[in-house]
Amino acid sequence: MEDLTKGAPRIKAAIFDLDGTLLNTLPDLVVVTNTALENAGMPPRTEREILGFVGNGVKSLISQAVPEGTTPEELAKVYDEWCRLHHQLGTRLTRPYPGVVEMLDELKARGIALGVLSNKFDDGVQEVVAQYLPGYFTVVHGESAEIPRKPDPTGLRRSIAELGVTPEEALYAGDSPNDVRTAIAAGAFPVAVAWGYHTEEDFQAPGAEPSLMAHHPQDILALV
């Protein structure tokens, strides 16, 4: 994939997806999801299956994880249980990806405004960012009544405005094709990361090709 960093605009803000981009949350997602399923009398899923379900928010994860034929009422109960367990069990197995903290330190030192925009429910985003990456981000948003799930660009446009820059001065980095689509729709510089929950081949889909494929967090520093 072509590296377009030479033609990149002057970046003043960097906004990131969370799960699969800054933090490896998959081990905790497996524990919480399977506990919620088992508490509802439903069979557990493998880590590989759950990996295939992530990327579009908790409701999407749960709707794919429950057995076929699950009623909307049962689905809602599993979702509520998932959220309860997430708060109760915490994120004990979650860790930043190698190089992420160092990248954020350098971006902050260079005066780059930082933000997070995730499809995870907002309370969960606020909690895990405060726990594992405190003090870096001026703006942190998860899915809420005001922030619809990506690829809707509303949340990214709002985050860019809150950071006081134009879309052309912002990059958005994420590990899924929807993250790239979101960046393009918002007018930001789209960056895909290769270390997350999707393969590089996933970014060959129409409308999901990033301007930069980052193989290590340090690659993003080339933009600033």
The two three-digit tokens of residue 204, written as one number: 């060959």
The count of other CB atoms within 10 Å of the CB of residue 174 is 32
Alpha-carbon Rg of the chain, whole angstroms? Answer: 17
Separation of alpha carbons 71 and 57, rounded Å: 19
DSSP state of 135: T
Strands of the sheet with 170-174, listed across from one edge: 139-143, 113-121, 13-16, 170-174, 189-193, 212-214
C-alpha 41, offset from chain centre: 30
Which of the following is catalytic: 17, 19, 179, 219? 17
Could you confirm whether 80 is annotated as catalytic? no
List active site positions.
17
